[in-house]
Structure 1
Amino acid sequence: MIARLLFTAAAVTPWLIHSAPAFAEEAADAYEAADPGDAIVVTARRRAENLQDIPVAVAVVGGEALDAQGTYNISKLTQLQPTLQFFSTNPRNTFINIRGIGAPFGLTNDGFEQGVGVYIDQVYYNRIASATLDFVDVEQIEVLRGPQGTLYGKNTTAGAINITTRAPSFEFEGKAEVSLGNYNFKQAKASISGPLTENLAARLSLSSTDRRGTIYNVATDTWINAQDNIGIRGALLWEPSDDLSITFAGDFNLQNPICCGQPYARVGTTQRALNRQYAALTALFPGYQVPSTNPFDRLTDLDADLAARNELGGLSLRAEWDLGAGTLTSVTAWRYWHWGPKNDRDFTGLPVYTKVNNPTVQNQYTQELRYAHEAEKLDFVLGAFAFYQEIRTSGIQETGPAASAWLLNPTNALSRNPAVLNGIVAENDIRLDNLSLAAFGKVNWHVTDALTISPGIRINYDKKEGLYNSVVIGTASDDTRQLITNDPAHPYYTDPWTAAQRGTQASQFFEPNFSDWNRSYDLNIAYKVTDDILAYATYARSFKTGGINLNGVPNRPDGTPALEVAQIKPETVDHFEIGLKTQFWDRAATLNVTGFWTEIKDFQASVISNVSGSNVLRGYLANADQVRVRGIEADFSVRPSERLNAYISGAFTDHEFRKFVDAPCPPELAGGTTAAPGQTPSASGTPGGISPANCDVSGQWLPGVSKWAFSWGAEYNVPATILGREGEAYLGYDASYRSKFSSNASRSIYTDISGYSLHNFRAGFRTERFDIFGWVRNAFDQNYFESLAVTPGNTGLISAQLGDPKTWGGTIKFTF
Structure 2
Amino acid sequence: MIATTHSVAKQEQTNHLPKLARPSRKTLYLAVFTTLLTNTLEASNALPASSNNIELEEVVVLARKIEENSQRVPISITALSADFIKQAGIKNVTDTLSFTPGATFFSSSPLEQQYSIRGVSSGSEGAASESSVLVMQDGEVLARDFMRSAAYFDVAQIEVLRGPQGISYGKNATGGLVHILSKRPHDELEAELTLGLGNYNNRTFEGFINSPLAGNLSGRFSLSHSERDGYSTDIVTNKDLDHWQSTGMRAQLLYQSDEDLEVHLRAHWMDEEGGQTPRKNFDVNSPYSSPLGTSYTEVSPDPWTVSNSQNLDFGTTRTIQGFNIQFSKQFEALSLTSISTYRDAEAKMIRDGFGTPDDLFFSTSLDDAETFSQEVRLDNSLSDNAVHWLTGLYFSKDKHHRIEDRTLAAAPIAGGTLETQDYIDQSSDNSGFGLFAEFKIDLSERTTLSLGARYSIDEKEFSLNHRSNGALSFAFLDEPSPITVNAKERWNATTASASLSYELSSNAMIYSKVSTGYKGGGFNGEATTASSAMTPFDEENVLNMEFGIKSELWDNRLRLNVAAFNLDYTDIQVEAFPDGAAAPIIDNAGEANIKGVELDTQIALTENISLVSGLAWYDHEYKEYVKDDVDLRGNKIANVPDWTFNLSALYEYELSSGDTLLARVDYNTRSDIFDDPENWDRGDGGRNGLRERVDLLNARLAWISSSDRWEIDIWVKNLLDEAEVVNVGPQFFLSQRPVVYGAPRTAGMSFSFRI
Please report the TM-score for the alignment, with normalisation by the length of structure 2. 0.88
Question: SS where residue 83 of structure 2 aligns?
Answer: helix
CA-CA distance at 1:82 after TM superposition: 2.7
CA-CA distance at 1:102 after TM superposition: 3.0
Separation (CA, whole Å) in 2 of partners of 1:542 and 1:148: 6
The Cα offsets for residues 571-595 of structure 1, whole Å up to 9 and x where unpaired, read as: 1211101110011111011111000
1:352 aligned to 360, 378, 389, which one? 360
Of the structure 1 ranges 77-86 and 51-60, higher mean CA displacement relative to structure 2 is found in: 77-86
The Cα offsets for residues 602-635 of structure 1, whole Å up to 9 and x where unpaired, read as: 111124446xxxx654521110110111100111
Cα gap change, 1:3 to 1:609, in 2 (>3 Å): closer
* Aligned equivalent of 1:206: 223
* Aligned equivalent of 1:383: 392
Cα gap change, 1:346 to 1:173, in 2 (>3 Å): same
Cα gap change, 1:257 to 1:579, in 2 (>3 Å): same
**Cα contact 1:295–1:800 (8 A) shared by 2:** no
What letter matches 1:427 in structure 2? Y
Separation (CA, whole Å) in 2 of partners of 1:585 and 1:160: 31
Separation (CA, whole Å) in 1 of partners of 2:409 and 2:634: 42
Separation (CA, whole Å) in 1 of partners of 2:125 and 2:428: 14
Please report the TM-score for the alignment, with normalisation by the length of structure 1. 0.82
* Aligned equivalent of 2:233: 216
Separation (CA, whole Å) in 1 of partners of 2:152 and 2:503: 36
* Aligned equivalent of 1:746: 678
Separation (CA, whole Å) in 2 of partners of 1:522 and 1:91: 35
Separation (CA, whole Å) in 1 of partners of 2:204 and 2:290: 46
Cα gap change, 1:499 to 1:54, in 2 (>3 Å): closer
The Cα offsets for residues 287-329 of structure 1, whole Å up to 9 and x where unpaired, read as: x744436252532223243111121121111001111212110
Separation (CA, whole Å) in 2 of partners of 1:56 and 1:429: 41
* Aligned equivalent of 2:345: 337
1:139 aligns with 2:146: no
Question: SS where residue 605 of structure 2 aligns?
Answer: strand
1:585 aligned to 538, 550, 554, which one? 554
**Cα contact 1:217–1:302 (8 A) shared by 2:** no
1:563 aligns with 2:532: yes
CA-CA distance at 1:90 after TM superposition: 1.5
CA-CA distance at 1:449 after TM superposition: 1.2
1:804 aligns with 2:743: yes
Question: SS where residue 86 of structure 2 aligns?
Answer: helix
Cα gap change, 1:314 to 1:58, in 2 (>3 Å): same
1:517 aligns with 2:492: yes
Separation (CA, whole Å) in 1 of partners of 2:218 and 2:472: 68
1:392 aligns with 2:401: yes
**Cα contact 1:179–1:809 (8 A) shared by 2:** yes
**Cα contact 1:9–1:40 (8 A) shared by 2:** no
Cα gap change, 1:498 to 1:618, in 2 (>3 Å): closer
CA-CA distance at 1:784 after TM superposition: 2.4
CA-CA distance at 1:599 after TM superposition: 0.2
The Cα offsets for residues 729-753 of structure 1, whole Å up to 9 and x where unpaired, read as: 2221110111111122431121112
* Aligned equivalent of 1:547: 522
* Aligned equivalent of 1:171: 188
* Aligned equivalent of 1:488: none
* Aligned equivalent of 2:483: 508
Separation (CA, whole Å) in 1 of partners of 2:378 and 2:449: 19
Question: SS where residue 67 of structure 1 aligns?
Answer: helix
What letter matches 2:171 in structure 1? K
What letter matches 1:101 in structure 2? V
* Aligned equivalent of 1:467: 463
**Cα contact 2:261–2:328 (8 A) shared by 1:** yes
Separation (CA, whole Å) in 2 of partners of 1:697 and 1:125: 33
What letter matches 1:469 in structure 2? N
What letter matches 1:338 in structure 2? E
* Aligned equivalent of 1:324: 332
Separation (CA, whole Å) in 1 of partners of 2:231 and 2:5: 39
Cα gap change, 1:4 to 1:596, in 2 (>3 Å): closer
Percent identical: 22
CA-CA distance at 1:97 after TM superposition: 1.3
CA-CA distance at 1:118 after TM superposition: 1.2
Separation (CA, whole Å) in 1 of partners of 2:271 and 2:531: 38
* Aligned equivalent of 2:696: 758
* Aligned equivalent of 1:602: 571
The Cα offsets for residues 53-111 of structure 1, whole Å up to 9 and x where unpaired, read as: 1111110001221111111111222222232212211133211110121314xx53221
The Cα offsets for residues 153-195 of structure 1, whole Å up to 9 and x where unpaired, read as: 1321111111110001110001111221111111211011111
The Cα offsets for residues 251-291 of structure 1, whole Å up to 9 and x where unpaired, read as: 1111211122212222899xxxxxxx943657x35xx7444
* Aligned equivalent of 2:317: 309
Cα gap change, 1:783 to 1:618, in 2 (>3 Å): closer
Separation (CA, whole Å) in 2 of partners of 1:502 and 1:245: 55
CA-CA distance at 1:696 after TM superposition: 1.2
**Aligned counterparts, 1:34-53, within 5 A:** 36=55, 38-53=57-72
**Cα contact 2:562–2:600 (8 A) shared by 1:** yes
* Aligned equivalent of 1:626: 591
**Aligned counterparts, 1:355-504, within 5 A:** 355-374=362-381, 375=383, 376-399=385-408, 401-402=410-411, 405=414, 418-422=415-419, 424-473=420-469
Question: SS where residue 165 of structure 2 aligns?
Answer: coil
Unmatched tracts of structure 2, length 5 or more: 12-51, 682-687
**Cα contact 1:136–1:233 (8 A) shared by 2:** no
* Aligned equivalent of 1:76: 95
* Aligned equivalent of 1:279: 289
Separation (CA, whole Å) in 2 of partners of 1:497 and 1:330: 53
1:709 aligned to 644, 648, 656, which one? 644
Question: SS where residue 251 of structure 2 aligns?
Answer: strand
Separation (CA, whole Å) in 2 of partners of 1:118 and 1:180: 30
1:726 aligns with 2:701: no
Separation (CA, whole Å) in 2 of partners of 1:129 and 1:320: 31
CA-CA distance at 1:521 after TM superposition: 0.5
Cα gap change, 1:175 to 1:51, in 2 (>3 Å): same
Question: SS where residue 253 of structure 1 aligns?
Answer: strand
Unmatched tracts of structure 1, length 5 or more: 11-32, 270-276, 406-417, 475-495, 556-560, 664-692
What letter matches 1:239 in structure 2? Q
Cα gap change, 1:172 to 1:242, in 2 (>3 Å): farther
Separation (CA, whole Å) in 1 of partners of 2:457 and 2:541: 15
* Aligned equivalent of 1:482: none
**Cα contact 1:514–1:548 (8 A) shared by 2:** no
Separation (CA, whole Å) in 2 of partners of 1:543 and 1:317: 27
Larger Rg: 1
* Aligned equivalent of 1:679: none
Separation (CA, whole Å) in 2 of partners of 1:642 and 1:8: 24
* Aligned equivalent of 1:684: none
Question: SS where residue 548 of structure 1 aligns?
Answer: coil
**Cα contact 2:122–2:575 (8 A) shared by 1:** no
**Cα contact 1:403–1:421 (8 A) shared by 2:** no
1:193 aligns with 2:215: no
Task: Name the Cα RMSD after superposition.
Answer: 2.6
What letter matches 1:755 in structure 2? R
Question: SS where residue 75 of structure 1 aligns?
Answer: helix
Separation (CA, whole Å) in 1 of partners of 2:72 and 2:265: 31
